[in-house]
A and B are shown apart, each in its own frame.
Chain A
Amino acid sequence: MIAVLGLIVGVVAGLVVRPVVPTAVEPYLPIAVVAALDAVFGGLRAMLDGIFVDKVFVVSFLSNVVVAALIVFLGDKLGVGAQLSTGVVVVLGIRIFSNAAAIRRHIFRA
């Protein structure tokens, strides 16, 4: 419950405060958000499975974000940034889908 509140507060804060993102970080924000979403879905699924561990969640969340941003950064340096970020989004999207399927089975038993 507290976690859900945190998410809501974050969204509201982002909309209200309008923080300015440094230009250097800007290109990596969307990828980082998708990676974080992936981690969150994974965490939800683990919780439903009863194997949720907060430390693992924290590490996976942060490393997901960092690695995703790193891949895109590396791609930019290599000149394949657009393709690589597309690839990252595709992979993360697949994982989100499979996690969502697991969550669905838990909740709806189907």
Chain B
Amino acid sequence: MSPVSDANDGSGPAAGGHGGHGGPPRHGGALPPESPHPPAGSRPPGSGEPPGGPQGPGVEPGGGEGRRRLAQAVWPPRVTRAQLIVALLLFGLGLGLAIQVRSTSENSALRGARQEDLVRILDELDDRTKRLEDEKGELSRHRTELESSSDQAEEARKQRKEKEGQLGVLAGTVAAEGPGIRMTIGDRAGNTDSDALLDAVQELRAAGAEAIQINGVRVVAGTYFSDSDGGVRVDGRKIGQPYRFEVIGKPQDLEPALNIPGGVIQTLKKEQATVSVRRSEKITVDALRSSKRPDYARSSSQ
């Protein structure tokens, strides 16, 4: 060390500033051992940098002495009363150190926390819990709303789809299938005209026919029949013989309706036409019409 420490070593009584060891002077209280204010005239080795810029040659002996003392203390081991007492205290220190390190690393920060800290942490947790509860309530309410609204939307969508199907069958924009009859009118004499077909269609409608097509032309509300040379035009499309009706409806109603005395079939047969009617459990009406947007009529339901 510096000359200062030499001075300390030399003048025991003056060396006041040592950690817990007043040295020869032996402070009674021993507690302010490292008092940063040593008695005037001497400077403890530990208080800041050594005084005096250039380190004198005295530095060397000081350090050497310290090392020598350390080596002496460490080796060879000597069992003296002082060593034993110090060992006992250090044992206590090691024990406390180990316990503290262990408890700190084991049980998070809560174990060593003070009461006020714990109270604060608890308060924070309560606040947080309340906030989260509120948030949860909000979110579940939101969810319920969304669920019910999506249920409603789903229901509405289903109804709309159903309605669309029904209207589509009526308007001829979708294919339809179901039980019904097939009627074929063969007419070599060419006496069957648009009137006869119109009569047949009207009879079928009156008997509850729900979808009709004739030779691949869908018959809807606006369908018209007109005569053309050697055939009939349905909605402007010429169809030739034989005329094949595919009709969806209740077969038990449709067939008798055609067969009534003085009805469609009798009339046709009078004109030397051949008519055959067959019931079927599965009639497919797949001729389509494009839906036409009405120019003037608007729905008044809204």
Contact = CB atoms under 8 A, between A and B. Distances in A.
Interface of A: 1-15, 18-19, 21, 26-27, 29-30, 32-33, 36-64, 67, 76, 79, 81-82, 85, 95, 98-99, 101-103, 105-109
Contacts of A99: 19, 34, 46
Q: A interface, by DSSP: helix, strand, loop or mixed?
A: helix
24 contacts: A1-B73, A1-B83, A2-B86, A4-B90, A5-B87, A10-B93, A14-B94, A27-B112, A36-B93, A39-B20, A46-B21, A46-B23, A48-B70, A49-B8, A51-B15, A52-B21, A53-B24, A53-B26, A57-B89, A58-B85, A62-B89, A82-B114, A101-B46, A109-B1
Given A56-B27, A61-B89, 6 more contacts: A10-B94, A46-B20, A49-B5, A58-B85, A107-B66, A109-B62
A9 to B, nearest CB: 6
A93 B219 CA distance: 102
What bracket does the count of chain B residues touching chain A fall in? 35 or more
A59 B48 CA distance: 26
Nearest to B64: A109
Interface of B: 1-2, 5, 8-9, 12, 15, 18-24, 26-27, 29-31, 33-34, 36, 44-48, 50, 59-60, 62-67, 69-70, 73-79, 81-100, 102-104, 111-112, 114-117
Contact of A56 (B30, B50, B63, B94): B30
Contacts of A67: 31
A108 B47 CA distance: 17
A49 B15 contact: yes
Closest 7 CB pairs of A and B: A42-B19, A10-B94, A14-B98, A60-B20, A106-B66, A6-B87, A51-B23
Contact of A105 (B12, B20, B45, B73): B45
A38 B35 CA distance: 12
A58 to B, nearest CB: 6
B20 A7 contact: no
A46 B47 contact: no
A3 B15 contact: no
Contacts of B26: 53, 55-56
A47 B82 CA distance: 12
A47 B73 contact: yes
Given A51-B9, A98-B34, A7 B112 contact: no
